[in-house]
Structure 1
Amino acid sequence: MMYTCKMFSDNAGNLHLAIINDRGKCVYYLADQDEELVRDTLSDLKAGGDPIAEDWEGGEDDPQACLRSIEDMVAACNGGAWEIEV
């Protein structure tokens, strides 16, 4: 399956990675203060990894809700979170 992704940072020091399927649904969401972990996960995706087929650990239970939440924070424009180019 083909995936796209979005990355965000928040003012609590967390890096967020949302992996989105070709139907626009967020299927994997990782948020952590360990920037290396999140960036390594992004590298795995770019190298052809599949978070669903490979059953990646560490993701949130409701990735779609997590993506909506961080996008709402970004849209609020109050400095709570911002999107990062990947």
Structure 2
Amino acid sequence: MSNQVVVIGHLRVAETDRDAYVADCREVVRRARAAPGCLDFLVAADPLEPDRVAIAERWASRADLEAFRGSGPPDDQRARIRDVRVVELDLPQDV
């Protein structure tokens, strides 16, 4: 039996672009939540830091995460990211 995977952390984008960046992630969130093995997926604006975007994901398995992730965000979205601080944690299935 494989472990669940939790991805947690944040991105930094330009302060003036943060809200637009989060809005542009809506379709990614929609697709992720519909993907096999997705247990939770969130991209949200930080309420205190104007350039920070919170990321939280939970997947039934690493295979499910990797199948969804593919090559990562589109180039135009990737270019807007100034910094990434994200960790992936393996958790037992019964958590």
TM-score by length of 1: 0.31
Flag the structure with larger Rg: 2
TM-score by length of 2: 0.29
Higher helix residue share: 2
Higher strand residue share: 2
